[in-house]
Amino acid sequence: MPITNALTTTIERVSILDEHGNFDEKLGKGLIPDADLLKLYETMVTCRMMDEVAFKLQRSGRMGTYPQNMGQEANSLGAAYALNNDDWLVTCYRENCGLMWRGVPIDSILLHWMGDERGNAMPRPHHATPIAVPIGTQMLHATGLAWAAKYRGEKRISCTFFGDGATSEGDFHEACNFAANLDIPVIFFCQNNFWAISVPGRIQCSAPTVAQRGIAYGMPCLQVDGNDLFAVVYGMRKAIEHARTTGKPYFIEGVTYRLGDHTTADDARRYRDQAEVDAWKARDPITRLRTYMTKKGIWSDAKDAALREAAEASCMATIERCEQVEPPVRGDVFNYTFADLPADLVTQRETGHTHSLGQDPSQLPSASNAR
């Protein structure tokens, strides 16, 4: 028997509320109580509204580059909902909805994109790390954070988010490998939105699923419909149960789609077909939930209109707060470089100069003590 089978495996895919409104009672019943569902829906609508407002702000020159989250809301939201509030949320930049659910002020997120570091001063109780811009580096931090919790005997786990493009980065693989081999409870959540700016998913991963990347590290993996809040919550509960009871990592692929451009500096019409975008618009996670709730009799057009009106008002109030926030002071360029500023930085801060004669004008001939 020279050749035997070393491994056979399957990847499960979870879909509970599909794009046609079909709901799997067996998997979905009791998964999310109606009262929670209403709040979750409200968060999604507010997040979407913020995306639209932020886009307009950028176009009118009131905000810098901004990455819209449109279409992907259910992924981070379902995760944040299923996690405990003191589990670490280690995000990149398409997880606004989950951060909002966690209670991170939207002001923080907007301030960050308005070019203000104070937006990243995440209040500690939220257990959310700052927005990570370089692709695929934050999963290692998530691994370290969960490792620290394990070291201290805490039950806390980490959940980290990244896109399909990030799974090409070496740090992604190192994070999976560390977490799996050192038994660290991290949930790796890939938001597979099919596009890394203009590069299609096929160039990042030619395997049939991204989820199966977890198999190589000995992690259980699951694919969920990332536009289906129920499927995300279902998958996350499985992952959380695994991470908490075994202390080991878990891999989830949420299949979703970036309905907007990569950022406001991008124009996706240059590289993808409108037909593809339209097909995914029909699978919009918000529309899907609204139809479901309406059919269930817990939602109505009137309630929706009222919610949208309230969401818009709250977004406008947020914008107003962010635009009126006191401007940062010049000293803050320096003040957080180290806990204790070295003398050369104090001099640069106090004089505003880097040239030595500017820093010490007493050396100039015009100075009274000049040589």
Partner 1 sequence: MANLTLVQAINLALIQEMEKDDRVILLGEDVGNNGGVFRVTEGLQKRFGANRVVDTPLAESGIIGTSIGLAMAGLRPVPEIQFEGFLGPAYDQLCSHAARMRTRTRGAFTVPMTVRVPVGGGIHAPELHSDSPEAFYTHQPGLKVVMPSGPYDAKGLLISALRDPDPVIFFEPKRIYRAIREEVPEDEYTIPIGKARVVCEGTDLTVVSWGASVIQCMQAIEACGRSVELIDLRTIYPMDMETVEASVSKTGRCVIVHEAPRTCGVGSEVATQIMEKCFLHLEAPVQRVTGFDTIMPYYKLELEYLPDAARIQRGIEDCLAY
Under the rule (CB under 8 A), what is the footprint of partner 1?
117-118, 120-124, 129-130, 134, 137, 140-149, 151, 158, 170-171, 174-175, 177-178, 181-182, 332, 336-340, 342-344, 356, 363, 371
* CB 150 to partner 1: min, Å: 9
3-state secondary structure of 117: helix
* CB 236 to partner 1: min, Å: 21
Closest to partner 1 by CB, 21 or 361: 361
Closest to partner 1 by CB, 93 or 147: 147
The residue among 120, 39, 51 whose CA lies nearest residue 319 is 51
Please, which residues have CB within 8 angstroms of residue 298's CB and are 6 or more apart in sequence? Answer: 34, 37, 38
Closest to partner 1 by CB, 301 or 340: 340
User: Which amino acid is present at 38?
Assistant: L
Q: What one-character-per-residue DSSP string does 304-355 give?
A: HHHHHHHHHHHHHHHHHHHHHSPPPPTTHHHHTSSSS--HHHHHHHHH---S
Closest to partner 1 by CB, 36 or 183: 183
* CB 42 to partner 1: min, Å: 28
* CB 127 to partner 1: min, Å: 10
Angle in degrees, 0-180, between the axes of helices 34-59 and 106-113, rounded to the nearest 10? 20
Closest to partner 1 by CB, 302 or 339: 339
**Alpha carbon distance 191, 188 (integer Å):** 10
* CB 55 to partner 1: min, Å: 24
**Alpha carbon distance 107, 120 (integer Å):** 10
* CB 39 to partner 1: min, Å: 27
The dihedral region occupied by 136, where left means phi > 0, alpha psi between -120 and 50, and beta the remainder, is: left
Closest to partner 1 by CB, 103 or 342: 342
The residue among 116, 123, 71 whose CA lies nearest residue 97 is 71
Closest to partner 1 by CB, 90 or 100: 90
Place of tokens 């019409």: 269
Q: Which two tokens stand for residue 80?
A: 């944040």
* CB 179 to partner 1: min, Å: 9
- 137, 171 contact by CB (below 8 A): yes
